[in-house]
Structure 1
Amino acid sequence: MSQKNTYDVVVIGSGPGGYSAALRAAQLGFDTALVEKEKTLGGVCLNVGCIPSKALLDSSERYHQARHKMAEHGIEIKDVRLDLETMMSRKNKVVEELTHNLRELLERGKIEIIHGTARVEAPDRVHVTRNEETGSGDRELILPARYILVATGSEPNPLPDLDFDGKHIISSTDALALDTVPKRLGIVGAGYVGLELGSVWQRLGSEVTVIEMLPQAAGNADGQVARTLMRLLKAQGMDIRLKTTVTKAAVKDNQVEVSVKAKDASDTLSFDRLLVSVGRRPRLDGLGLDELGVETDPDTGRIVVDAAFRTRVPSIYAIGDIIAGPMLAHKASAEGAAAAECMAGLPGDVNYDTIPSVIYTSPQAAGAGMTQEDAKKRGIPFLTGTYPFSGTGRARCLGETDGFVKLIVHKTSDRILGVHIIGPSASEMIAEGVAAMEAGMTATQIASMVHSHPTFSEAIQEAAAAVPKKQWQP
């Protein structure tokens, strides 16, 4: 596709937010260009984040089941052997196929794809230095545009004195491409990424120690869910140390020596690899936005936008990890589509109160809406209803009975404020909770809905039925 003289929209970044914005803009009739500095499309999520990590989580779970769980089903498997090279090749193939499908989707939408490094030179102009491997054509491009949307995502956040070297002290990207199973793997940070990658390598044979300075693992998850998840992961053999800080780390004799402190006690731990997973930071270097007057939050470094995703420069928009809110791929996708609609004068909107989050450990943990802690902090009168998976026939048949469903319900209106699940298929089940909250449904309505039997989703129905009914009037 040849370069146009001008574009309605130039999108910088092809991750979930960027490609969703480009596709929606094209659907709305905008001439659209998408600039991506990497060789492949899809951003962090598709290439070194969501997709490859879930591929390894699924593969490692199958390996674990083959070694430890098939016998109880009457299936004897002998001499189970790990072929890590094949497992990694499968992961890479999944990524390759999805990036190829994404390119085809964008090309069918008549979106011009340009691989190169972008810099916003003016409110209506993007300068692109195309990658050297790009075929014929000018190396330097000027893309005039009515609107510019920045969706450059985020990158791992290093700790002071714990710089990534890619071999001993590694990032989440490095942890997705190890060629051997570390005998001892240390992880700094008990957030979603740390727990997921810890699960992968523990299943494959690593001794995993997770170090977290906060009193709770799993970030902002509901407290009861987080405590249950930590208990179950510890039972699987993961060593999780809360309220513990890393005071020093050094590579010595091909090992990472880590000094940690918890309360008044100190310890020194030795690892083959140390994964630093303490969050991510917005990727904004080199874009030239400061010079144009685009405002960033001094505390987070993220771009400040209004309800329509406009920056202080009206023609420049921003979405995804570089603006406020959870750093989640589906949050960025929703914002991308909404931003394109706002450019077209439509009421693009994202309901941040119902955005789900998932931890793909085993068992999985998922949540949407208010946690019990949120409701208490905001002074909202609430009731809870819980139901264990051990009470559902489907979970019993599968042999996956750990966990529960928990509903947070407004005490006087019975409306569902939050849904939190830890257990089998939590990542899929949470969609029912999101739909219920979007529709303003009550616990009574969910309890009266007929759910298929036997299914995991019956636990949601039972949790709704377990909400006390004396305090409210229907």
Structure 2
Amino acid sequence: MEAFDVVIIGSGPGAQMTWNSLPGRSVAVVEQGLVGGNCPYLACVPSKAMLQTAHVWGLASNPEFMPVFLGPEPPETAYTMTVRRRDKLVHNRDDFEAAEQLRRAGHKLFRGHGRIVRPGVVDVSGVRIRYRDLVIDTGSVPEIPPVPGIENIEPWTSEEAMSSDGLPESIVVLGGGPVGCELSHLFALFGSVTTVVEKADRLLPREEPEVADTLTEALHTVDGRVLPGATVTEISPRGTGVRVALDTGRPVDADKLLLAAGRVPYTIDLGLEEVGLQVRPGAPMPVDDHCRVVGAPHVWAVGDVTGISPHTHTAEYQGRIVAANLMGREAVANYRAVPRAVYTEPALAAVGHTESSARAAGIEPLVAKADLGDTVRAQIDGVSTGWVKLVADPSRRTVIGATAMGGHAEEFISEMSLAVRGDIPLSVLTDVVHPFPTFSEVLEGPLVELAERVAVREPVPVGQH
């Protein structure tokens, strides 16, 4: 029986960050699917690639830029080109190169389902290997809502949507979270009759209310429809398509149903009970702030399976935390400044508290806003939609949250992530000089406003929260 310092079940971004940060350690990686996980093949990379191509294609219809184009390709042709570019970027969902990179790094790949058979031993489809430490990075799977009739149709999940070549003439997207928002924008941009059904009273209900307003209006611009506060009561076949019955009115008919109602941690048949863990299917792995699995010595977990923050960058961060601890360096995870991004048009980026979550935490926040259209860069780029909203703790004189839409907010949000993570005083943030002309200049007005409003208050020393 082969023995390794570290065995990793799953090979997603968190696992990759772990094995790349363990010099001198013997590592085995167990993967029953694609090396690299879903992100490079079926999730993050293909969806963002398709959205980018769609946005570029859409410039030919934008009055600001239409004169420089000979004319856009028809939607069907453009979609075919988009799919071709997507598949090239994801290597046609072939993980050969990723597997070779793993081997070149000196690690061993075991293909198959990994299951703990006793402490220190994992079975991989009949082959047993020993570990000193075990890292679980099994990710998550789409949640299938318990709607009557769903078993009678073949809905898409995001994986099917991101691997299909077809452009449906009409589609119902069940769920208005990040995945639902991105994919509904994608299909609506290419002319699919798109309807988003969200049981909450707005899209992305955990974000600022202004986010839902902006995204709903953006969808309306491309003839997409949003049905908030609606619950699906039944799903049934209708010809070659589907009929979705709602509790709020008339049913919606479409060619395709896309399930985007959330994902759940993949914890099925991992043998967790063999190391003393009782984790029900779909429940997250309980981890401490070192990413150790609570109650299981020498077992760690990273990524979606922890249920903490379902982002690739969170998984990579946790991978660094685990690797540092395995190498003997004390490392503790802090999630309060992990950014959130949704790559719609305009894109959303946020970090830390919203106005309502700050109040729920016992803070009476100060809020300042600015319109992205007031920047010179927005005028240069022909951008008319976008804004930023900052949330500050007046007692600490620091920014504790930021939300931005448009203007490549996913890029400049890192400045606010650093501000939140480092408790950087507003007086320092207002002294930051932004290059001209950039979208990041939109931060300057709200920061100055907040600094002036807290100037008369006595600050609490940093670290006393």
Residues 299 and 413 of structure 1, relative CA distance in 2, 3 Å threshold: farther
1:178 is the counterpart of 2:164? yes
Contact map agreement 1:183 1:207 (CA 8 A) in 2:
yes
Of 211, 214, 231, the residue aligned with 1:225 is 211
Q: Residues 290 and 333 of structure 2 are in contact (CA less than 8 Å); yes or no, is this contact kept in structure 1?
A: no
Q: Which residue of structure 1 lines up, in the alignment, with residue 86 of structure 2?
A: 91
Deviation by residue 1:360-392 (Cα, 9 ceiling, x = unmatched): 000000101111111111121321121111100
Aligned to 1:57: 51
Q: CA deviation at 1:120?
A: 1.0
- The verdict on how the C-alpha distance between 1:323 and 1:387 changes in structure 2, with shifts beyond 3 A counting, is same
- Aligned mates of 1:420, 1:410 — CA distance in 2: 15
Taking a change above 3 Å as real, the CA distance of residues 112 and 165 of structure 1, as seen in their structure-2 partners, is farther
Corresponding residue to 2:178 among 192, 216, 220: 192
Q: Does 1:244 align with 2:230?
A: yes
- Secondary structure, aligned partner of 2:113: strand
Shift of 1:116: 1.6
Q: How does 1:340-379 map to 2 (within 5 A)?
A: 340-379=323-362
Matching residue of 2:382: 399
**TM-score normalized by structure 1?**
0.90
What is the CA–CA distance in structure 1 between the aligned matches of 2:58 and 2:411, rounded to whole Å? 21
Partners of 2:115 and 2:271 within 8 A in 1: yes
Greater mean deviation of Cα atoms: 241-250 or 14-23:
14-23
Which of 288, 313, 322 is the aligned partner of 1:306? 288
Query: Within the alignment, does 1:383 sit opposite 2:379 as a pair?
Result: no
What's the counterpart of residue 75 of structure 1?
68
Kindly state the Cα deviation for residue 313 of structure 1 after the two structures are TM-superposed. Answer: 1.5
Match of 2:35 in 1: 41
Task: Tell me: CA distance 1:106–1:177, structure 2 relative to 1, closer, same or farther (3 Å).
Answer: closer
Once residues 216 and 451 of structure 2 are traced to their aligned partners in structure 1, the CA distance between those partners, rounded to angstroms, is 28
Distance change >3 Å, CA 166–CA 260, structure 1 → 2: closer
Change (3 A) 1:73 1:64: closer
1:420 — aligned with what? 403
Alignment match, 1:323: 306
SS in 2 for 1:149: strand
SS of structure 1 residue aligned to 2:367 = strand
Structure 2 contact 390–399 (Cα < 8 Å) conserved: yes
Deviation for aligned residue 1:243: 0.5
Give the one of 17, 36, 42 matched to 1:20. Answer: 17
1:288: how far off? 1.1
Q: Does the aligned pair in 2 maintain the 1:282–1:322 contact within 8 Å? A: yes
How far has the Cα of 1:101 moved from its partner? 5.6
Instruction: Report the RMSD for the aligned CA atoms in angstroms.
Output: 2.2
Structure 2: distance between partners of 1:92 and 1:37: 21
- Tell me the residue number matched to 1:136: none
| C-alpha distance in 1 between matches for 2:425 and 2:108 | 46
Question: Deviations 1:100-151 (Å, cap 9, x if unpaired)?
Answer: 664454334312122221111112011112xxxxxxxxxx321111011111
The answer (yes or no) to whether the contact 1:172–1:276 under 8 Å persists in 2 is: yes
CA distance in 1, matches of 2:9, 2:413: 31
CA contact (8 A) 1:192 1:219 kept: no
CA–CA distance in structure 1, aligned partners of residues 380 and 96 of structure 2: 38
Deviation at 1:320, TM superposition (A): 1.4
The answer to whether the aligner puts 1:235 opposite 2:235 as a matched pair is no
Question: In 2 relative to 1, CA 300–107 (structure 1 residues): closer, same or farther, beyond 3 Å?
Answer: closer
Aligned partner (choices 122, 131, 135) of residue 126 of structure 1: 122
1:218 is aligned with what amino acid? L
Deviation at 1:163, TM superposition (A): 7.6
Which residue is equivalent to 1:207? 193
- The structure 2 residue matched to 1:461, chosen from 438, 444, 448, is 444
Q: Structure 1 pair 162/291, CA: closer, same or farther in 2 (3 Å)?
A: farther
* Number of the residue aligned with 2:5: 8
What secondary structure does 1:210 align onto? strand
Aligned counterpart, 2:413:
430
The secondary structure found in structure 2 opposite 1:362 is coil
> Who is 1:157 aligned against?
143
Distance in 2 (CA, whole Å) between partners of 1:292 and 1:115 is 23
Tell me which of 90, 103, 110 is aligned to 2:106.
110
What amino acid is aligned across from residue 125 of structure 1 in structure 2?
Answer: V
**Per-residue deviation, 1:306:** 2.1
Q: Out of 225-234 and 385-394, give the one that drifted further.
A: 225-234
Unaligned runs of 5+ in 1: 130-139
Following the alignment from structure 1 to structure 2, what is the Cα–Cα distance between the partners of residues 429 and 409? 18
What do the CA deviations read for 1:206-237 (whole angstroms, capped 9, x no partner)?
A: 01100001012114222233333223333332
